């Protein structure tokens, strides 16, 4: 993770300038897309949100030190004191002038550093597959991105689906991963909370696609497949965590645009089971 931390150090030096993410990605020896995607997975927030919060953290210290609000605002990319004040209040819960009052309590975004953990709490099982092209077949919708906790829009969509949908879908599942899947894809690797996510209740099939279903062709390519078994929802959360913190930093692959496929098989009672996460990749 040394290269990634060098990129973060460079980011700190550029907080008061226009930040070229492609330059940061070169420090991390990867592509801009992969850098943004991996940052979001490792940090639990988009890169753009981290930059915003770091700028407002550093700006708060300068405001408290007595620097003029407009000068600080312009320094960190705001066109007016009013726009800066709105962003400042959204993070700190008070205006810049209130922040100067004795006893004011401000929020802060610490500077991140990434560490690769060699000794994990669970065994990570993964494989690489060169998969032929296929179709996602099923029902799709667009939902807002939720980084933590349940997604009410997905829950509502699932409740709205016809009760016989899986009975009609499962005969169309004739390629890996078999059976019913969910698939998600954001519009970009730096998507912020609330931005649109394409969500599928689907199967993977070679076609043909009958009328009455949504479908999307997925081209041939490499996929990394993570497997886990244990208590829900922890086992599923560990699949993404393992991908971000253990697999990608230690292997010569990049996470590339495309849907992420998740196959879940629950045990009796639904409190535990198995998860299989498919992520599209390419060699670095």
The enclosing domain of 167 has a CATH number of 3.20.80.10
Please indicate, yes or no, whether residues 169 and 269 belong to a single structural domain of this protein: yes
**Which whole-number Å values give the CA distances from 279 to 175, 180, 227, 248, in the listed order?**
16, 17, 12, 11
Please indicate, yes or no, whether residues 179 and 273 belong to a single structural domain of this protein: yes
Answer whether residue 111 is part of any domain.
no
Q: What is the pLDDT of residue 170?
A: 95
Q: Which domain, by its residues, includes 163? A: 125-283
Q: How many CA atoms lie within 13 A of 164 on its CB side?
A: 2
Please indicate, yes or no, whether residues 142 and 56 belong to a single structural domain of this protein: no
The packing angle between helices 47-64 and 2-13, to 10°, is 50
Please indicate, yes or no, whether residues 26 and 67 belong to a single structural domain of this protein: yes
Please indicate, yes or no, whether residues 43 and 160 belong to a single structural domain of this protein: no
Q: Where among 65, 84, 99 does a domain terminate?
A: 99
Please indicate, yes or no, whether residues 92 and 159 belong to a single structural domain of this protein: no
Query: Structure tokens of 182?
Result: 């969910």
Answer whether residue 113 is part of any domain.
no
Q: Which tens digit of pLDDT belongs to each residue from 163-220?
A: 999 999 999 999 999 999 999 988 666 666 677 889 999 999 998 899 999 999 999 9
Answer whether residue 25 is part of any domain.
yes
Please indicate, yes or no, whether residues 162 and 253 belong to a single structural domain of this protein: yes
Q: What is the pLDDT of residue 188?
A: 66
Q: Is 59 left (phi over 0), alpha (psi -120 to 50) or beta?
A: alpha
Please indicate, yes or no, whether residues 155 and 60 belong to a single structural domain of this protein: no
Please indicate, yes or no, whether residues 159 and 31 belong to a single structural domain of this protein: no
Answer whether residue 151 is part of any domain.
yes
Name the nearest CA neighbour of 114 among 225, 40, 19. 40
Answer whether residue 231 is part of any domain.
yes
Answer whether residue 230 is part of any domain.
yes
List the CATH number of the domain containing 74.
Answer: 1.10.10.60
Please indicate, yes or no, whether residues 140 and 260 belong to a single structural domain of this protein: yes
Q: Which tens digit of pLDDT belongs to each residue from 83-112?
A: 999 999 999 999 999 999 887 888 888 888
Burial of 192 (0-12, 13-18, 19+ CB in 10 A): middle
Query: Structure tokens of 184?
Result: 């998600």
The number of distinct structural domains making up the chain is 2
Q: Which tens digit of pLDDT belongs to each residue from 122-169?
A: 445 788 899 999 999 999 999 988 766 678 899 999 999 999 999 999
Burial of 62 (0-12, 13-18, 19+ CB in 10 A): middle
Is the per-residue pLDDT at 120 higher than 50?
A: no
Answer whether residue 36 is part of any domain.
yes
Query: Structure tokens of 89?
Result: 């209040």
Please indicate, yes or no, whether residues 131 and 79 belong to a single structural domain of this protein: no
Answer whether residue 167 is part of any domain.
yes
What is the rounded CA–CA span in Å between residue 132 and residue 220? Answer: 4
Residue 114, classed as helix, strand or coil, is coil
Share of the chain above pLDDT 70, in %: 89
Please indicate, yes or no, whether residues 12 and 62 belong to a single structural domain of this protein: yes
What is the rounded CA–CA span in Å between residue 97 and residue 85? Answer: 9
């Amino acid at each position: 993770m040394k290269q990634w931390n060098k990129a973060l150090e460079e980011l700190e030096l550029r907080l008061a300038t226009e930040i070229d993410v492609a330059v940061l990605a070169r420090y991390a020896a990867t592509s801009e897309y992969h850098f943004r995607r991996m940052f979001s997975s490792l940090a639990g927030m988009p890169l753009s949100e981290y930059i915003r919060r770091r700028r407002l953290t550093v700006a708060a210290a300068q405001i408290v030190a007595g620097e003029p609000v407009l000068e600080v605002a312009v320094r960190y990319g705001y066109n007016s004191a009013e726009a800066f004040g709105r962003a400042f209040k959204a993070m700190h819960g008070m205006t810049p002038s209130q922040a100067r009052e004795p006893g004011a309590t401000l929020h802060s975004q610490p500077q991140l550093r990434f560490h690769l953990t060699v000794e994990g709490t669970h065994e990570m099982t993964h494989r690489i597959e060169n998969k032929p092209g296929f179709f996602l077949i099923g029902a799709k919708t667009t939902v807002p991105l939720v980084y933590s906790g349940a997604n009410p829009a997905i829950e509502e969509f699932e409740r709205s689906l016809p009760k016989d949908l899986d009975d009609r879908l499962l005969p169309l599942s004739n390629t890996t991963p078999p059976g019913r899947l969910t698939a998600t894809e954001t519009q970009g690797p730096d998507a912020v909370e609330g931005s649109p996510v394409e969500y599928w209740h689907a199967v993977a099939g070679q076609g043909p696609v009958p009328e009455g279903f949504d479908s999307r062709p997925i081209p041939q390519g490499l996929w990394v497949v993570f497997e886990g078994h244990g208590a829900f929802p922890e086992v599923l959360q560990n699949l993404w965590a393992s991908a971000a913190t253990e697999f990608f930093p230690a292997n010569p692959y990049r996470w590339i645009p495309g849907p992420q496929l998740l196959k879940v098989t629950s045990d009796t009672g639904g409190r535990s089971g198995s998860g299989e996460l498919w992520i599209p990749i390419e060699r670095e």
